[in-house]
Amino acid sequence: MTETLENIVENFSLFDDWEERYRYLIDLGRGLPHMDEALRTDSHLVPGCTSRVWMVAVRRPDGTFQFEADSDAHIVRGLIALLLSAYQGKSAGEILAMDIADIFKTIGLDQHLSPSRRNGFYAMVERIRADSARAE
């Protein structure tokens, strides 16, 4: 994943319509590495997502987090890529202090995702926050 959160937010603003933004979101998801099948277990499933989403958090020795996540849905993979660009390599304190809802609104996803996708997005955010809070 090479896109920074700032680049993603800027790129979203370049598109004139939501069809182009959805394509960009799907392209972000295509760039996400696929998770090893051995990690696609029920214990790694994120509850509250309509699509199947698996997520694993590893706390590095320096206190930052490495996340690995995957989904069986293209748009959800794009949402994962967005979240990973925001949270990857951050400490628990940085993760818990981040206002992802503001970024979500800035991009316009709050108005253009279906309620089930929106709920799934926030379920993933809560999983990331819970995993990092446990390590704090």
3-class SS of residue 100: helix
49 is catalytic: yes
Residue 89 carries which DSSP code? Answer: T
d(CA 49, CA 70): 12
Phi, psi for 41 (deg, rounded to 5): -115, 165
Which is catalytic among the residues 5, 8, 25, 49?
49
d(CA 33, CA 41): 17
3-class SS of residue 16: coil
Report the catalytic residues. Answer: 49
